[in-house]
Amino acid sequence: MIAYTALLDKAIVNPEGLSTNDVMALLTPPSLAATRRLWQTAHLLRLDATGKCIHLRAIIEFSNYCRQDCLYCGLRQGNRRVARYRMTPDAIVEAAIKAHKAHQFGTYVLQSGEDPGYDLEDLEWVVQEIKLATNAAVTLSIGERSYGVYQALQEAGADRFLLKFETSDGNLFRKLKPTTTLEQRLGCLDTLRGLGYQTGSGIILGLPGQDLESVASDLLLCRDADYEMVSIGPFIPHPDTPLGSVSLASNVCSTLTTIAVARLLVPNAHMPATTALGVIGQNDKWWKSEAPKLQDARSLALMAGANVLMLDVTPAKYRASYSIYPGKASADGDVICDSIWQTKQDVSNLSMTICPGRGDSPKQPWGRGSTDVKREGHFH
């Protein structure tokens, strides 16, 4: 415990000085007391860097077509069992406006599979209309695109972009994402940052073949890239994928621990309490003993370094079909109002509040990747 506490102190003072071995040690606290100490340290760092309040993002999952064939994902092109849908541009804007009437979200996240089926002008129009109607920030999560597409959508008003690299282990990446490459994906992230998007990335935790060293390297990549947003979600096997019979390798505790270590390494990042964490928390009840009053494992992540909640405002009829992993779709009914109410309850149970406003990155200016900084350096 003493050695672990010393390592935590080192992480706070000098995260840049941490080696892969240090990060591996941070990821494996020697006792429950050390684990709690880690979570609490991450929580304090998060309060310091991003404040006490929680950012709510509304997410519209507007198409589940995907040209990629990632072995873990239920939306993979090869999955013939999923009912594909593609919302019209009008319907996407309408969904955002409807959500805005229920709660004035500061950010709308537009996510889809990697769907080549939209005209660029239509996507530009959607971004412009949502910005006009809500005055909120718009985040895109639509996969790997060309420089021209990223640029056009930014000119249309898109503020942020989410593109998880999923794993930084080249071999694992090649096996799990056969239709793209790690170089291509990291190249897209560089492009996005160069354009000045607030850029988010991150990983899936517990992928088959992923070991502790690989996770440590992933987190160090996030540190070195200094992403504005870092997302860590547990892998949940999907029955209609080649990894359907793999057993669950992460649990609530290991996910919280990884989120907390990520907070130590990228203190200024916005970090979501991921939906996938909420899903595994429904069966893995261990965390309830840590926080008996909370309804949702995601809330515990808000005490361990995370500071963002994503709320699904996709029209109810599409929800079941956006089956990235099982258990994701919530019940129907007035889903938007119900989940906003429940989220507010949990956030107030934690004595936290929901932030008004867009919730931009606390880093200023954002999106200036290390390459840019180096380039500017030549002029001084």
User: Is there binding between residue 276 and ligand 5AD (CB under 6 A)?
Assistant: yes
Report, in Å, the least distance between residue 233 CB and ligand 5AD.
Answer: 5
Give CA–CA dist 67/113, Å, rounded: 8
Report, in Å, the least distance between residue 44 CB and ligand 5AD.
Answer: 28
Residues 165, 175: contact at Cβ < 8 Å?
A: no
Q: Which of 103, 164, 193, 298 is the binder for ligand 5AD (CB under 6 A)?
A: 164
119 C-beta neighbours (distance < 10 Å), count: 9
Q: Which of 73, 126, 252, 303 is the binder for ligand 5AD (CB under 6 A)?
A: 73
Binding window for ligand 5AD (CB under 6 A); candidates: 12-20, 222-230, 231-239, 294-302: 231-239
CA angle, 80 as apex, 74 and 85 as ends, to 5°? 75
Report, in Å, the least distance between residue 260 CB and ligand 5AD.
Answer: 19
Distance of CA 21 to CAs 221, 249, 354, Å?
A: 14, 21, 37
User: Is there binding between residue 226 and ligand 5AD (CB under 6 A)?
Assistant: no
Taking CB under 6 A as the rule, which mask of x and - marks residues 203-222 in contact with ligand 5AD? Answer: -x------------------
Residues 192, 199: contact at Cβ < 8 Å?
A: yes
User: Is there binding between residue 62 and ligand 5AD (CB under 6 A)?
Assistant: no
DSSP secondary-structure letter at 354? B
Taking CB under 6 A as the rule, which mask of x and - marks residues 234-263 in contact with ligand 5AD? Answer: -xx-x-------------------------
Report, in Å, the least distance between residue 237 CB and ligand 5AD.
Answer: 6
Residues 354, 341: contact at Cβ < 8 Å?
A: no
Side by side, which strands form the sheet with 107-112?
A: 229-234, 198-205, 160-162, 137-141, 107-112, 55-63, 308-312
Report, in Å, the least distance between residue 276 CB and ligand 5AD.
Answer: 5
Query: Around 139, how many Cα atoms within 13 Å sit in the side-chain half-sphere?
Result: 28
Q: What 3-state DSSP class applies to 367?
A: coil
Q: Which of 166, 226, 312, 346 is the binder for ligand 5AD (CB under 6 A)?
A: 166
Residue among 54, 59, 57 at smallest CA distance from 105: 57
Taking CB under 6 A as the rule, which mask of x and - marks residues 319-358 in contact with ligand 5AD? Answer: -----xx---------------------------------
Give CA–CA dist 355/362, Å, rounded: 13
Report, in Å, the least distance between residue 142 CB and ligand 5AD.
Answer: 11
Residue ranges binding ligand 5AD (CB under 6 A): 72-73, 164, 166, 204, 233, 235-236, 238, 276, 324-325
